[in-house]
């Protein structure tokens, strides 16, 4: 039997997975509780703001984990373009391991609910900003001008998001590899 103290974390992680694979509107609170092994009353105890609060915190959690993956790849690589390859490979591996159900931890919710909820839109915006800021700061550290690195970071995130969407719908990671090759060349040129 799960410990009582981990109920909030289990619900949050379960919600993050379900929102990533199903989207906001297709994910019901009863499903989150059932799959998270949590009693019904615990949802509003831990998330008094209801589904929007749960989604916002789940996005922060999964988006933060993706930001950590980006930072680790940037820190481990000798060159920024190698880091992009590592991130794209990790995303391709995760997509294949999920049988093409788990793409970006934010995009499904952003497309599904950001237009309906300012809370969710803001949560998505914060996650995307953390990713672009992390990439931009790294590029600046490699001598790319701040304005150029900020624009390039946006292009990187947007390109990777598009590649994930294509890979997911095609059930093939080839778009991730194609976009990765192009992005690595663009970054190498920017750093030179």
Provide the sign of the torsion angle of the four alpha carbons 124, 129, 130, 135, taken in this order. Answer: positive
Give mean pLDDT, residues 50-70: 96
Which run of H or E residues covers position 161?
helix 146-170
Question: Which pLDDT value is given to residue 174?
Answer: 97
Question: Which pLDDT value is given to residue 192?
Answer: 82
Q: With 80 as the cut, is the pLDDT of residue 191 above it? A: yes
Question: Which pLDDT value is given to residue 1?
Answer: 44
Q: Bin 100: left if φ > 0, else alpha if -120 < ψ < 50, else beta.
A: left
Two tokens at 88? 């794209």
Predicted confidence (pLDDT) per residue in 81-119, tens digit: 999 999 999 999 999 999 999 989 999 999 999 999 999
Q: With 60 as the cut, is the pLDDT of residue 133 above it? A: yes
The pTM of the full predicted model, rounded to 2 decimals, is 0.92
Query: What are the residue ranges of helices labelled H in 98-145?
Result: 107-113, 118-141
Calculate what percentage of the chain has a pLDDT beyond 90: 86
Give mean pLDDT, residues 51-67: 97
Give mean pLDDT, residues 47-75: 96
Q: Bin 37: left if φ > 0, else alpha if -120 < ψ < 50, else beta.
A: left
Q: With 80 as the cut, is the pLDDT of residue 77 above it? A: yes
**Distances in whole angstroms, Cα of residue 154 to Cα of each of 93, 118, 150, 169:** 23, 22, 6, 23
Residue 5 banded pLDDT, cuts 50, 70, 90: low
How far apart (Å, rounded) are the C-alpha atoms in residues 11 and 111? 22
Q: Compute the mean pLDDT over every residue in the chain, rounded to the nearest whole number.
A: 93
Question: Which pLDDT value is given to residue 30?
Answer: 94
């Amino acid at each position: 039997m799960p410990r009582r103290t981990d109920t909030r974390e289990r619900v949050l992680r379960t919600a993050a997975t379900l929102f990533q694979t199903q989207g906001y509107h297709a994910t019901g609170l009863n499903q989150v509780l059932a799959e998270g092994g949590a009693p019904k009353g615990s949802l509003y105890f831990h998330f008094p703001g209801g589904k929007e609060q749960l989604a916002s915190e789940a996005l922060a959690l999964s988006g933060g984990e993706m930001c950590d993956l980006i930072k680790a790849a940037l820190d481990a690589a000798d060159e920024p373009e190698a880091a992009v390859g590592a991130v794209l490979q990790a995303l391709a591996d995760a997509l294949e391991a999920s049988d093409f159900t788990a793409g970006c931890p934010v995009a499904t919710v952003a497309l599904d609910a950001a237009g309906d909820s300012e809370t969710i839109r803001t949560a998505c915006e914060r996650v995307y900003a953390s990713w672009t800021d992390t990439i931009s700061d790294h590029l600046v550290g490699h001598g790319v001008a701040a304005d150029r690195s900020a624009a390039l970071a946006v292009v990187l995130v947007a390109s990777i998001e598009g590649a994930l969407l294509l890979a997911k719908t095609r059930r093939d990671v080839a778009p991730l590899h194609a976009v990765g090759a192009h992005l690595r060349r663009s970054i190498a040129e920017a750093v030179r």
